[in-house]
A and B are shown apart, each in its own frame.
Chain A
Amino acid sequence: MADLSTTIHKLELKNPVLTASGTFGYGLEYDDFLDVSLLGGIVVKGTTIHPRQGNAYPRMAETASGMLNSVGLQNRGARYFATDIYPKLTKYNTNVLVNVSGSTIEEYIACAEIINELDHIAGIELNISCPNVKEGGMSFGTSCGSIENVVSAVRKVYQKTMIVKLTPNVTDIGELARAAEYSGADSLSLINTLLGMAINAETRKPVLATITGGLSGPAIKPIALRMVWEVAKAVNVPLVGMGGIMNATDAIEFFLAGASAIQVGTANYIDPTITLKIIDGIDSYLNYHKFNKLSDIIGCLQL
């Protein structure tokens, strides 16, 4: 057994496999399928200060090697999370992180302040990259100025590990990554979904009620790998890579590109136990290639 432990700022992860926000509920939905405590950590559903009903439906379109979604941050709000959901999550013997989002900087701050009070929450993932909300979300993540404003504001009120989740819907992700690092991010996670759309030729209408949505799944993996590699060259903080990871080989590719940990997203829908298989597969890869520890391959792309 190789040493699979990894570090994201102050977070000690027993293995590098986390779950991507919005694909793993609160973990509880997976209790029938697997022991959540075996994971390196989980990132629970995007949370906002006020409850949100999310977007109209249809919200999902299957695409070639992936899917589009336009859920729009449906959640019951940070206070409901703190009082009704958080107590159920303290049973997990692993890192539980909350994905924090908002429409205004004030909303991000208010949400982060509530999460900051929850002892068992190891960190937050600041979501400045949701493509499915009209206000806030991705619009914070597409310019250096707005990234600096929201990241530095939340940094002032949140003391534990803060990961900033980047959007791929930009021209130069390295520049935006540097802005997030400069503004106090302890780590960066990438990528969120790519903005896309689906059309029904028979009805001549868009498939999604919101017309556009976020593309995920293996279709986006090459883009995600390229962006992790670019950001790894641009910043010094540890990276959490994601985008279409379906198996251990995909995960290994992200470590080689420079990610210290990875998140599994859409694959959880198809096989809710996939995360455990990926952990085993990473161990097998390291043993087969005679690496003693995961850190031996992080950023070790042979050029």
Chain B
Amino acid sequence: MRKTVQNLKVIENLQLNDDHHLLQLEVPDQLETIFPGQFANLLVNHSPGVFLRRPFSIYSVDYIKNTISVFIKEIGEGTRALGQTPVNSYINSMFPLGNSFTIPNEPEKILLVGGGSGVASLMNLAQELNKNLNDVYILIGARSSADLVELEHFSQYGTVYTTTEDGTQGEKGYVTNHSILRDQFGQFKRIYSCGPEPMMRAVAAKAKSQSVFCEVSLENTMACGFGVCLCCVTETIEGHKCVCTDGPVFNINQLKWQI
């Protein structure tokens, strides 16, 4: 759908743990297709220290209720204000922005790797891949079991594996050390990843070494979100590209990562 700026009503605000919220936002105009990986840039109200919008992946889309959901981790003043938006109030939202993950034409065996709040961009993708009958595996890493959220929701769309750094759930250690990456990596035709950059680089290095298709969703500070300020660039083989419009999803072969 074309980019739009609208006031969206918060119809649900689920607090998932201490600092994670899932907001369901009602869209007044009829939604058209929003692709997995696209994001929304939200205006922060009543927060004097915050000047610019804050970008969030569109977590899921409900075309029947005409809603989009965003997954918000409270990091600073802006994300805190947005995460605590009361039900029935409005958030001025610019969406859908950015490109999207590439969906295979034929069903394939696919691995999604998410770390921390990076899972935010993988739900809509898992749903889309599941709808197209792909064989989906979802590996999610977090610091501790309390940080692993929405696992039941993810398990509706694929087989879920987890790691925690403190060993409170799933395999102990970093997501990039999970046994599925060690023992079964060669079975996957595609890898999609979103999370901290060191994690994505490790996943990308693994994919590159075995010539597996791999896309990552990048994060960057941005002023506009639609390709005019040129602040959120990343280095690619074709020079500086905007994360907000040429991304946020990049094939790892486009990036100049030393992997």
How does the 8 Å CB contact mask read for A21-32 relative to B, with 1 for contact and 0 for none? 011110001101
How does the 8 Å CB contact mask read for B208-232 relative to A, with 1 for contact and 0 for none? 0000000000001111111111111
A93 to B46, CA, bound (A): 38
Query: Chain B residue with minimal CB distance to A51?
Result: B239
Q: Which of B53, B220, B232 contacts A270 (CB 8 A)?
A: B53
A71 to B224, CA, bound (A): 13
Q: Min CB distance, A91 to chain B, in Å?
A: 17
Residues of chain B in range 74-104 having any CB-CB distance to chain A below 8 Å: 94
Q: A29-B226, A29-B227, A33-B3 are in contact. Are A74 and B233 (CB under 8 A)?
A: yes
A147 to B215, CA, bound (A): 49
Q: Min CB distance, A32 to chain B, in Å?
A: 4
B45 interface residue per 8 A CB criterion: no
Query: Chain A residue with minimal CB distance to B233?
Result: A57
Q: Which of B5, B49, B228 contacts A271 (CB 8 A)?
A: B5
Is B234 touching A57 in the complex (CB atoms < 8 A)? yes
Is A23 touching B231 in the complex (CB atoms < 8 A)? no
Taking CB atoms, residues of chain B closer than 8 Å to A24 are 228
Is A59 touching B231 in the complex (CB atoms < 8 A)? yes
Is A272 touching B226 in the complex (CB atoms < 8 A)? yes
Interface-forming stretch among A61-69, A116-124, A156-164, A247-255?
A: A61-69
Q: Min CB distance, A282 to chain B, in Å?
A: 21
B2 interface residue per 8 A CB criterion: yes
A145 interface residue per 8 A CB criterion: no
Taking CB atoms, residues of chain B closer than 8 Å to A25 are 227-228
Residues of chain A in range 48-97 having any CB-CB distance to chain B below 8 Å: 53-54, 57-67, 69, 71, 74
Q: A53-B240, A270-B43, A270-B53 are in contact. Are A29 and B233 (CB under 8 A)?
A: no
Q: Which of B3, B51, B221, B228 contacts A268 (CB 8 A)?
A: B228
Q: Min CB distance, B154 to chain A, in Å?
A: 32
Q: Min CB distance, A58 to chain B, in Å?
A: 6
Query: Chain A residue with minimal CB distance to B1?
Result: A32
Query: Chain A residue with minimal CB distance to B229?
Result: A269
A23 to B223, CA, bound (A): 10
Is B2 touching A69 in the complex (CB atoms < 8 A)? no
How does the 8 Å CB contact mask read for A264-292 relative to B, with 1 for contact and 0 for none? 00101111110000000000000000000
> Could you count the A-B residue pairs with CB atoms below 8 Å apart for me: how many are there?
87
- Which size bracket describes the interface of A in this complex? 20 to 34
A217 interface residue per 8 A CB criterion: yes
Q: Min CB distance, B240 to chain A, in Å?
A: 5
How many B residues face the partner with a CB closer than 8 A?
Answer: 28
Taking CB atoms, residues of chain A closer than 8 Å to B227 are 25, 29
Q: Min CB distance, B56 to chain A, in Å?
A: 16
Is B228 touching A23 in the complex (CB atoms < 8 A)? yes
Q: A32-B2, A272-B94 are in contact. Are A67 and B223 (CB under 8 A)?
A: yes
Q: Min CB distance, A127 to chain B, in Å?
A: 15
Q: Min CB distance, B129 to chain A, in Å?
A: 28
Taking CB atoms, residues of chain B closer than 8 Å to A61 are 221
B156 interface residue per 8 A CB criterion: no
Taking CB atoms, residues of chain A closer than 8 Å to B49 are 64
Q: A53-B240, A270-B52 are in contact. Are A22 and B229 (CB under 8 A)?
A: yes
Taking CB atoms, residues of chain A closer than 8 Å to B2 are 32
Q: Min CB distance, B3 to chain A, in Å?
A: 4
Taking CB atoms, residues of chain A closer than 8 Å to B220 are 57-58
Q: Which of A29, A32, A66, A273 contacts B228 (CB 8 A)?
A: A29
B168 interface residue per 8 A CB criterion: no
Q: Min CB distance, B234 to chain A, in Å?
A: 7
Q: Min CB distance, B250 to chain A, in Å?
A: 15
Q: A33-B3, A217-B51 are in contact. Are A54 and B233 (CB under 8 A)?
A: yes
Q: A53-B239, A217-B51 are in contact. Are A69 and B43 (CB under 8 A)?
A: no
Is A269 touching B52 in the complex (CB atoms < 8 A)? yes
Query: Chain B residue with minimal CB distance to A72?
Result: B230
Query: Chain A residue with minimal CB distance to B76?
Result: A62
Q: Min CB distance, A97 to chain B, in Å?
A: 16
Is A33 touching B233 in the complex (CB atoms < 8 A)? no
A32 to B227, CA, bound (A): 13
A30 to B3, CA, bound (A): 9
Q: Min CB distance, B244 to chain A, in Å?
A: 10
Is A60 touching B51 in the complex (CB atoms < 8 A)? no
Taking CB atoms, residues of chain A closer than 8 Å to B43 are 270
Taking CB atoms, residues of chain B closer than 8 Å to A59 are 230-233
How does the 8 Å CB contact mask read for B93-123 relative to A, with 1 for contact and 0 for none? 0100000000000000000000000000000
Is A63 touching B51 in the complex (CB atoms < 8 A)? yes
Is A32 touching B230 in the complex (CB atoms < 8 A)? no
Given A62-B51, A64-B51, A67-B51, 7 more A-B residue pairs with CB atoms under 8 Å apart are A22-B229, A57-B231, A60-B221, A60-B232, A67-B52, A272-B94, A272-B224
B-contacting residues of A (Cβ < 8 Å)?
Answer: 22-25, 29-30, 32-33, 45, 53-54, 57-67, 69, 71, 74, 217, 266, 268-273
The 7 closest A-B pairs by CB, nearest first: A60-B231, A25-B228, A269-B224, A32-B3, A32-B2, A59-B231, A269-B223
A-contacting residues of B (Cβ < 8 Å)?
Answer: 2-5, 43, 49-53, 94, 220-234, 239-240
